[in-house]
Amino acid sequence: MSARSLITTTDLSPQETLLLLDDAAALREQRRELVLGRAGDDTLRGRTVALVFEKPSTRTRVSFEVGVRELGGTPLPLSSADLQLGRGETVADTGAVLGRYVQAIVIRTFAQSRLEELAASSGVPVVNALTDEEHPCQALADLLTVRDEFGDFSGRTLTYVGDGNNVAHSLLLAGAAVGLGVRVAHPDGYAPDPAIVARARGLASAHGSEITVTTDAREAASGSHVLYTDVWASMGQESESQARAAVFAPYALDATLLALAADDAIVLHCLPAHRGEEIAAEVIDGPRSRVFDQAENRLHAQKAVLAALVGGRPLGAIAGAGSAGTP
């Protein structure tokens, strides 16, 4: 995998996704046991990773910067203001130059095409840290959180309520690939991309899961093991916030919706959250919430991605090494 990028969620095969989750769990255990001085911390030694953020970020910026450092590498955070991208340099030229200086690029940007153009020109592994179309690193952390809770994905269903956005897209693709049923409940006019839904249904038929897209939030939540939501207006849609609030109100993740889910259901949110809007405070702060475990899992999942893509460690090698991290 050392020469590969993570551009779309399906750049990882189902088996690779499961092995990556194993590695992420092993890296988390190493960190908790405070054995970083002798386990996995030198995977990126001598490597510099550019972290390009064309959109604001808290969790993605911090988790990637900490992750690169904990793997022994050097993170190089860059915003549009730091780069000539902000003054009209092409994405292709930026990628070609960065690829001469660094060993990998993590980018959080707008159109998926910008990410693809950067990857094509850079010659180094590129990791999608969010585009308008997908958020694969978030989906990996979500899968890790679900597996932590239930042990596996078979027979489990995740219901996402709200906008059919990038997070919904990656959940559809990642869940379908590992056998996790995914339901998306959305208002009229805010459905996920039909092409991505079709891809997810193809994966689901091959891996024993089911994809449902509906406008009925209550039906989608019924019996589900995971209820998941996101902000109603994503970055760049702030001017639509007031109009969206009225449309999305019936899709709020509140105690009434949670009561329809399975008795052991958990609640997820990719953050930042607006309590009292897309999610009730009593839900996100309640006993069923795993939101902050989910946020922590971004760090571990992304370290596993970096160890494989940039460090060249075979997927599953970290988990197979045990807590001491011995190859």
Predicted pLDDT of residue 297: 98
- Residue 61 is a catalytic residue: no
Which residue in 103, 138, 294, 302 is the catalytic one? 138
**What confidence score (pLDDT) does residue 85 get?**
81
Question: What pLDDT was estimated at residue 88?
Answer: 83
Is 138 a catalytic site residue? Answer: yes
Q: Indicate which residue of 270, 294, 302, 313 is catalytic.
A: 270
Indicate if 135 belongs to the active site.
Answer: yes
Would you state the structure tokens that stand for residue 33, as one six-digit string? 């046991």
- 59, 156, 186, 298: the active-site residue: 298
Q: How far apart are CA 149 and CA 283, in angstroms?
A: 17
CATH 3.40.50.1370: does it fit domain 138-293? yes
Catalytic pick from 28, 31, 47, 135? 135
Beta bridge partners of 52: 78, 107
- Cβ(210)–Cβ(181) under 8 Å? yes
- Name the helix (H) or strand (E) containing 22: helix 14-32
Asked whether this chain's domains 9-134+299-320 and 138-293 adopt the same fold, the reply is yes
236 backbone φψ class: left, alpha, beta (φ>0; ψ -120 to 50): left
**DSSP strand pairing (104-108 vs 48-53):** parallel
Tell me, yes or no, if 169 is annotated catalytic: no
Catalytic one of 23, 41, 163, 230: 230
Residue 35: the pLDDT is 54
CATH architecture for segment(s) 9-134+299-320 = 3-Layer(aba) Sandwich (3.40)
Domain range annotation of the chain: 9-134+299-320, 138-293
Rounded CA-CA distance 193/207 in Å is: 21
pLDDT at 236 (0 to 100): 67
28 is an active site residue: no
CA nearest to 17, candidates 132, 120, 157, 170: 170
Averaged pLDDT in 10-residue chunks for the chain of 327 residues: 81 98 96 62 94 93 97 94 83 95 97 96 97 98 98 98 98 98 98 98 96 98 98 79 92 98 98 97 98 98 98 94 44
pLDDT recorded at residue 80: 82
Q: Has 230 been annotated as catalytic?
A: yes
